Structure formats: structure tokens, C-alpha cells
Structure 1
């Protein structure tokens, strides 16, 4: 059996940077330390950080002191302002690509454009960009339901697929006189999606590794299953031996929040299977 790991699988720059920031703070600073929601969307990594005294909270109620680390997905401005009012120390681990998308969104609204965000409603990154007036779209068909605006500006959740974004932009042109498009999709994520698509066209089976709450991992799964048998797993222990039976080539791809040790664990498990 041939086992191939898609090029670029695992931690992206933004996730690696966030972890480096947090690891340094946990060693050098005094706590308590908090994140509003998980730092990244990977349960195994988050559990490891929690053992080092990084506490995940849902809100700032009752928090009177300590350090708030802004997660890689960013936070809404209101949450950051509240943390400042409470006197918390703030350390920003927002991915620079997410930060750029946030800035683009705010510039569009400041310029009088109706802001449209292409992304998953409820995702923390989308929440960090949105205002009360923002329109959030997940697919091209949803464009039909929105009103006509003289000026519209569009940004994307950084892990969106380029095809979906282009489809929405095409339809938005019918809903406005002026459309300003900001390219905010992460280039590394796009490369990983292309690598996964290529692998899925060649393999008999693809295993996608990553958190079940990870948007970019779920997107890799959707891409791959369009071409071949595909399973989304978090650990090697989830592999069903029946999946590997009579497979000549197995592909492995992983989301941007998946550590290398998890990818290696899955690859070893697959290579150890005897048809």
C-alpha cells in the first residue's frame, strides 16, 4: 500500500505563530491566562495548553484580573474593549491574515460600503469581522435574497474556498452599482485545498485529519469526498481497518490546526496495516 501525505498538511503560519506566542507567555509571565474560546480548533492541542494553565472561557463575566490572549481567529471589538475596561492585560495572537481581513472589513464600512462577509455564520473569525449591519453569505444561492445597495464591499473568511468566493462575487455584481472586492483568503489554505483535490483524484482513500470544529478541515473533507472515499478523523484510533482493505493508495491531508505528531501518528497506523 502506498501512503502519501499532501504537501503543506498541518500547522499554517497563523496557527504556528499563535502557539509560539502562547507558549512563550505561559513560561515567562504570571497568570491567570484566558482565551475567549479555544486558541485554535484542535482538541488535542487545546487540552495540552489547558494543562499549562491556559483557561478557556465563554465570556468575561467574573474575570477581574489576569491576561486575555486573543485567539488565532480574532475577537469582536466589543469583547476586546470590555477586557480593556476590566483592566486585563491583552496579548494578541490573531493570525495576521485574519487581522488583514478585519481591517479590510472596517475600512469598507468606514467608506460607506455595505459589508458582505463570505463565511460560515457563527464562526469566530466571521464574528470578529462582522458588525450589526453586515451581511453574511455562505453560498452563491443566498445572494438572491439580499437587497440592492448602491455600494457593496466583500471580504472572505480566510479559510473559504476560492470557488465559493468567486461564485458569490459574481452574483453580487447584480445587486449593486459598485462592488469592491478584497482578497482575504489565505494563500496557504488555498494551496492546501488544491493539494488535497489533486491527492483525492489519485488515491483510493483519503483521510482528513483535524478538529471536528475546524472549518478549514471540514472544507478539505468536502473537497476530497467529491472525488474518492474520504473520512474525517481526529486521531489514528478512529481508523476503521475495513477502510484500508484492498486499497492500493491512501492519501492523508490535514487542516491548518493539526500538529505534525498527529499526522505522523495516522501515517504510521496506515503503513502498519497489512492487506
Structure 2
């Protein structure tokens, strides 16, 4: 049995920075909150809750709670949220990924220059909601599928600025950009998919092409892990999406010769190591 572990598996820079920030603030022994789950990994969020960290999903949830510090999640928040939190008397620690903050600034700039803004991504994802809030709502569209790209229509005479959710599938981003380009708009394309995402997806695809079974580890709500699963599934039909080793059915991969393992950007190293160890020991 040959087991190939992706070198890029696990925490990216932005996730590690956000998670480390919360664990460091726990030591301050003050009321501590995160605005939304700090990252999309249930195991990490559960561990933080055991240590007293409270997740709030709306500013109104802070009303009546002991004043303390609110840490902004890695995905960022919508414009004006931080000011509302501070107005209630809470301190803010912004753990938004720097690459996400960069997109906020780009969207604000090009929207201010009277451009249409296209955000390629998942409209329901908190990162995308945050990005969208920095532009003129009437001239902003979120596109996540080929069908949405084909239906996109912007008034001529204005430039169209295209950005992406940081964890979007790179090949799919290129495909949707090409569809919009064919409409003849004056387009500015800003590939804001982070380098770590591109590297992770490229490596996962390469491993999936050469193995008999592929294991993708990550939280169920993790956008980047879902994209990894889709990419791997296209290359290897025996691809399995798990959150922890408890979800791994070894019987499904026991008969194969080569197994690949990758993990989303929100997956802690200890979970990856435990899965790898069990696969090697059992198979």
C-alpha cells in the first residue's frame, strides 16, 4: 500500500493566523467572542467553545452579554459590522485574512471608479457577502456557475471588474471569465484566488490522477475543501470526503494499492496526521 500525502494539506497562512489569534487571546481571561465561526472547521470551533469562546453570528446577539473582545473571523465581515460592535462597547481584534482584506480594497476602489463588479464565488459564503458589501449593490453581481455567467448582462459603457472568492476553483474561475469576456465588455480581471488555494488544488488534482482512492479531509462547511473534493472526484471516482478519522470507512479503501490524502485550508495538522497514521497502520 502506497500512501501519498499532499504537501499543501492543512492550515493556510490566513487560517493559522486567525486560529492562533483566538488561542492567544484565551490567555487574557476576558469574555471572548468570535463573529461567526473563526474558520469553517467544526473540530476547531468545538475546542474553542470548550475553552470559553462564544460564537456570535449577528451584532444583536451581543446585546446583554458581558463586554469583552470580539475576534473577526478569517473570512471577514460586511462593511460597518466592526463599527456596530465597537458602539456596543466591545473591543475588536480583526483576524480577517489579509488576502480577503485586499479584495475589499480592490472592490471599493473599482466600484468608486463606476465599474460594474463581478464576484466569482458562492453568494451565500460569508467571505463573498463581505466583499459584496464594499461595492455599489446595484452594479454588483455574484456569479458561481456557467449558467449565471451566460445570463450576466451589464450596461455597456461601463467597465466590468471581475474578482474571485479566495478559495474558488481556479479552472472554473477561468472558464467563467472567458464566458463574460465573449460578451464584449471592457473587462478588468483580477485573479484574487490566493496562491495557497491554487497550489493546493493543483497538487490535489495531480495526486488524484495517479491513485486508486483519494481522501479529502475538512469541515463540511469549508468552501475550499468542497472545491478540493470536486477536483479530486473528477480525477478519481473513489474519492471520500471526511471530517475526522471517525468518518473514514477503511473497508472502502482496503483493496486498493495507492491512496492519496489531501486536506482543506481549515484542517488542523493533528487530524491529518491521525488519518494518515490510521490508513498506513490498517492497510
**TM-score, length of structure 1 as denominator length:** 0.95
Question: Counterpart of 1:105 in 2: which secondary structure?
Answer: helix
User: Does 1:160 pair with 2:168?
Assistant: yes
Residue 129 (str. 1) matches residue 128 (str. 2)? no
CA distance in 1, matches of 2:108, 2:129: 13
* Contact kept? 1:206, 1:252, Cα under 8 Å: yes
Which shifted more, 181-190 or 137-146?
137-146
Unmatched segments (≥5 aa) in structure 1? none
- Could you tell me how far 1:148 is from its partner in structure 2? 2.7
Equivalent residues of 1:151, 1:176 under 8 A apart: no
Q: CA shift at 1:176, angstroms? A: 5.3
Is residue 138 from structure 1 mapped to residue 156 from structure 2 by the alignment?
no
Conserved in 1, the CA contact under 8 Å of 2:116 and 2:154? Answer: no
Once residues 148 and 37 of structure 1 are traced to their aligned partners in structure 2, the CA distance between those partners, rounded to angstroms, is 33
- Hey, what does 1:246 align to over in structure 2? 255
Aligned position for 1:54: 53
Q: Name structure 2 gaps, 5 residues minimum.
A: none
Structure 1 residues 88 and 165 mapped into 2: Cα distance closer, same or farther (>3 Å)?
Answer: same
Q: Deviations over 1:122-157 (max 9, x none)?
A: 101001101333200002331222223322111100
Distance 2:106 2:273 in 1: 37
Q: Contact 1:152–1:176 at 8 Å: present in 2 too?
A: no
1:147 maps to 2:153:
yes
Provide the residue aligned with 2:72 in structure 1: 70
Aligned-residue Cα RMSD (Å) equals 1.4
Runs (4+) of structure 1 moved beyond 6 Å?
Answer: none
Matches for 1:202-221 after TM superposition, within 5 Å: 202-221=210-229
Residues of 1 paired with 2:126 and 2:144: CA distance? 15
Aligned equivalents of 2:61, 2:121: Cα separation in 1: 32
Question: TM-score, normalized by length of structure 2?
Answer: 0.92
Alignment equivalent of 2:243, drawn from 220, 223, 234:
234
Q: Distance in 2 between matches of 1:4 and 1:241?
A: 16
Counterpart contact for 2:35–2:57, Cα < 8 Å: yes
The aligned residue for residue 263 of structure 1 is 272
Counterpart CA distance in 2 for 1:112 and 1:187 is: 29
Partner SS, residue 115 of structure 1: strand
Alpha-carbon offset, residue 179 of structure 1: 1.0
Q: Write out per-residue CA displacement over residues 147-196 of structure 1, whole angstroms, 9 at most, x where no aligned residue.
A: 23322111100001221111121122244532111121110111000110
Pairwise CA distance, 1:245: 2.5
Contact 2:3 / 2:280 at 8 angstroms: preserved in 1? yes
Which residue is 1:96 aligned to?
98
1:181 aligns to what?
189
Q: Is the 8 A contact 2:15 2:266 kept in 1?
A: yes
8 Å Cα contact 2:245/2:275 also seen in 1: yes
SS of residue in 1 equivalent to 2:76: coil
Alignment partner of 1:120: what SS? coil
